Amino acid sequence: MARRARVAALAVAVAYAELAAFASAQTYETLHVRRFTMSVDRTTVEVGEPFHLSIAAHVDEPVTQLDNLTLPDLSGFDSLGDERRCVATSAGSDCVETLTLAATVAGVRTIAGATLDAIDARTGKPSRFTSDPVTVTVTGTAFLDPLRGLVSGLLFAAVRAFLIVIFVAAFAFAVVWSISMWRKPAPRPRVAVSPRVPPAAPAPPPDPNAALRALADALAHEPTRANALRLRQAMRATMDARDDETFGDLARRGAAEPPRLAALGAVERAAFCEDERVPDAVREALPSLNF
């Protein structure tokens, strides 16, 4: 009877675990993982010396982060920093997580592989991708290497006692010198009365139109295609235009007031018309350039 109860309990536990795994798989991203690697910038470091551990993945999908990336066990290392970066291109996404670590214990240390849980787009099933482990050789230092604990402990105690003596002596000298200086009357300094300087006025906020005015003046002075392009670029910047947005896109989203958009259109005409027509196009644009 007891044996049957144990088997039933085990079955329930297994079913629960599978359900939990299934539920967790539902939150995974569907990814084509092309590359998943882990590396260090140096394989030999000293105790306490910072080094970088990089975990890199390339997936076909455009992602901004890898949600289910699990770092390896890093016991024996202090984590000094962590940087995550994902760059999405037309060829997929390159994600790199860089950890800055410092070993606390000397010896040959193997860092187990990092894991990435995702729905494998090739099979449609939840999968765990694991990188190769990396091995780091950590050499000891005089004060922290436990293999030399006894010697270094004695040395450390001696150095600490010496430093304490030096510190006490310096403190005593400083006290004596301060008292002697306090007793000697110091010559009264002649203080020149300087006119009261009013507090500096806060700098006025930069005028975004000032640069446009300067560029428009330059265009009026020298009506060339290059000047028209410069002014057009500056005007687009004031409208927060993205690189892929055309004038039509800006007009459709109402990126600026209609007069400003009309001015941009006029400058664009000057920037792209025939060479011999550039001065005329600039002349036609100038009345609208009221910045």
Partner 1 sequence: MVGQQDVLEALLYATIAGGHVVLEGPPGLAKTLACRALASAVGGTFKRIQFTPDLLPSDIVGTRVFDQRSGDFTTALGPIFANVLLADEINRAPAKVQSALLEGMQEHQVTIGPNSFPLPDPFLVTATMNPLDSDGTYALPLAQMDRFLMKILVAYPSVEEELAIVGRFGGAPPPMAIGTATPADLLRWRDEARAIFVDARIARYAVALVHATRAPHPYLDRGASPRASLALVATARARALVEGRSFVVPDDVRASALPVLRHRLAFNYRTLTESVDPESITQALVAGVAVP
Tell me which residues touch partner 1 (CB under 8 A): 32, 60, 90-92, 121, 243-249, 268-269, 271-274, 277
Nearer to partner 1, 177 or 272 (CB): 272
Is the CB of 73 or the CB of 274 nearer to partner 1? 274
Q: What is the CA radius of gyration of the chain?
A: 35
C-beta closer to partner 1: residue 157 or 226: 226
**Strand pairing of 44-46 and 134-139?**
parallel
- Are 223 and 282 contacting, i.e. CB atoms less than 8 angstroms apart? yes
Please name the helix (run of DSSP H) or strand (run of DSSP E) that holds residue 111, with its range, or none. Answer: strand 107-111
The one-letter amino acid at 60: D
Compare residues 45 and 281 and give the one whose CB is closer to partner 1: 281
Minimum distance from residue 255 beta carbon to partner 1 (Å) = 13
Closest residue by Cα to residue 224 from 291, 284, 281, 289: 281
Are 289 and 265 spatial neighbours (Cβ–Cβ below 8 Å)?
Answer: no
Closest approach of partner 1 to the CB of residue 277, in Å = 8
Closest to partner 1 by CB, 69 or 270:
270
Contact 77, 101 (CB under 8 A): yes
Q: Are 42 and 100 in contact (CB under 8 A)?
A: no
Shortest separation between residue 253's beta carbon and partner 1, angstroms: 14
Q: Distance (Å, rounded) from C-alpha 2 to C-alpha 108?
A: 49
For partner 1, the closer of residues 260 and 269 by Cβ is: 269
Residue 60 Cα distances to 31, 32, 48, 88, angstroms: 7, 5, 38, 9
Taking the complex as a whole, the smallest distance from the CB of residue 285 to partner 1 amounts, in Å, to 14
Tokens for 273?
């018309």
Least gap, CB of 214 to partner 1 (angstroms):
23
Output the smallest distance, CB 132 to partner 1, in A.
Answer: 25
